[in-house]
């Protein structure tokens, strides 16, 4: 079960969106620490993940996208 803030964060992170905690906090007008807690909860549920640049995005139909091969 997701909280209201988690649902709001998921709405901001539409599929394909890559946003930082600060950007999400500004969009939702809430403190960054609350967004961070919601994102970590979503990560535990398999709904969101963070890349190496600190950007968050949601997973679509799988727990985490497969790594892309670099050439």
With beta carbons less than 8 A apart as the criterion, state whether 56 and 17 touch.
Answer: no
Query: Has residue 71 got a pLDDT over 90?
Result: no
- Which parts of the chain are beta strand (E)? 48-50, 56-58
Look at the pTM and tell me if it is higher than 0.85: no
Closest of 1, 4, 7, 22 to residue 58, by C-alpha: 7
Q: What mean pLDDT value characterizes the chain?
A: 83
Kindly tell me if the per-residue pLDDT of 58 is higher than 90: no
Residue 57 has a CB neighbour count (10 Å cut-off) of: 17
Q: Give one word for 35, left, alpha or beta, with left for phi > 0 and alpha for psi -120 to 50.
A: alpha
């Amino acid at each position: 079960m997701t909280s209201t803030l988690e649902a709001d964060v998921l709405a901001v992170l539409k599929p394909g969106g890559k946003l930082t905690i600060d950007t999400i906090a500004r969009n939702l007008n809430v403190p960054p620490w609350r967004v961070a807690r919601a994102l970590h909860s979503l990560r535990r549920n398999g709904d969101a993940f963070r890349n190496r640049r600190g950007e968050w995005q949601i997973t679509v139909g799988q727990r985490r996208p497969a790594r892309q091969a670099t050439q």
